[in-house]
Amino acid sequence: MIKRGFDYRYDKEQKELRLIMPEELKNHFFASIYCRGEIMDRSQGDPGIIWASLSSNFNNIQLVAPHQVHGTRVIPSSSSFALPLRTEADAVFIDSSSDAIASLRFADCCPVVIASDSPDPWMLLLHSGFAGTAKNIVGKTLTMLYEEKGKEWRKDRTWAWIGPCICMECYSRKFDDPSTQDALNFFSPDNFYIKNGLVHFDIKGEVIKQLVQCGLPYDNIYDSSDCTCCSNGLYYSYRAGDKISRIFLLGGNTTKLI
Ligand SMILES: [Zn+2]
């Protein structure tokens, strides 16, 4: 089944959601989301165990798998940050100099991939959950990149993918929780509603707003539109009871796999 920007693979016992790269990026990058399945069940969210099962399909290249802390730090997809190191970070940056594959793990938080061939090919994997979205990890990372790449960066040659994450109906927080109050000052009013003393947040909607605010054309944003909790048979959801296993986002440089 193909959804705009995504290709679902139901091969064998491990479901996979591949990101479809536009022509401009096909020869540079690949990215894929490993959903609920045998390898992810068995690995229980441990990237070392996941990679022991998958690395032979990827030229046995080293894996960067940061210790995710709901912050905004970016690390490079470099062997100097690869396993067994677990540096604290929530984003990984890939370009032609990257000598490792990048990964992140999720169970309701929003997987975000941003890639461009302007002014040179680069790709970012981001972990944008409730806290990361309230800290605007997407906007901060893209602003940092803009300062580095300057006016040469063409946003019309930049694409973003939003992977499966918890929907607004399934994600609620207590109204009087301090982090809820902070987020109410930050999230756009379109992206939350209050019901029965609970605030429902649309994390994905806020991420899309942040991408558009950074200048990405709306048509260049691909939304898997799946909820991890509503579609718990396909994905892992912390709120639906998956306390250990995780969805695994993997992305890297295609040329390093040859
Ligand atoms: Zn849902």
CA distances to 50, 133, 192 from 181, rounded to whole Å, are 37, 14, 12
- Amino acid 70: pLDDT: 96
The parent domain of residue 38 ranges over: 2-257
- Amino acid 2: pLDDT: 61
Q: Enumerate residue ranges in the chain where pLDDT < 50.
A: none
Q: What is the pTM of this model?
A: 0.97
- Amino acid 214: pLDDT: 95
Number of compact structural domains in the chain = 1
> From the CA of 138, how far away is ligand 1's center (Å)?
22
- Amino acid 13: pLDDT: 85
Residue with tokens 């210790």: 67
DSSP classification of residue 118: S
Do the beta carbons of residue 228 and residue 165 sit within 8 Å? yes
- Amino acid 150: pLDDT: 81
| Strands lying side by side in the sheet with 247-253 | 2-3, 6-9, 14-19, 29-37, 247-253, 101-106, 63-64
Do the beta carbons of residue 202 and residue 192 sit within 8 Å? yes
Q: Residue 36 and residue 69: Cα distance in Å, rounded?
A: 23
- Amino acid 1: pLDDT: 56
Alpha-helix runs per DSSP H in the chain: 23-26, 38-43, 47-54, 130-134, 137-149, 178-186, 203-213
- Amino acid 152: pLDDT: 87
Across-strand partners of 67? 88
> From the CA of 172, how far away is ligand 1's center (Å)?
11
> From the CA of 34, how far away is ligand 1's center (Å)?
19
- Number of Cα atoms under 13 Å in the Cβ half of residue 64: 27
- Surrounding ion ligand 1 within 5 Å at CB are 167, 170, 227, 229-230
> From the CA of 229, how far away is ligand 1's center (Å)?
5
Task: Residue 120: give its domain's CATH number.
Answer: 3.60.140.10
Q: Residue 27 and residue 106: Cα distance in Å, rounded?
A: 27
- Amino acid 173: pLDDT: 97
